[in-house]
Amino acid sequence: MTHQPPYQLRHIYASRMLKAEVNHVWLAKQMGHADWSMIHIIYGKWINESRDEINKVATNLALL
């Protein structure tokens, strides 16, 4: 087994939770983020939503 940096556990946790289809807003709060934009940027490929829905939410967040 190769050495992995501690933050790698965060990536594993986030990707597995998203694959399990947990709410990404809840996950962002669990990981200490102020909003879910970082989850979307880093882990967006694991969010099971259509591209149109993701764009709509991102646009709405930008308006806040």
**39 CB-contact burial (10 Å; exposed 0-12 / middle 13-18 / buried 19+):** buried
Q: Which residue has the tokens 């709410």?
A: 23
Kindly report, residue by residue over 17-59, the tens digit of the pLDDT: 887 778 888 999 999 998 888 888 888 776 665 566 666 767 7
Predicted model pTM: 0.61
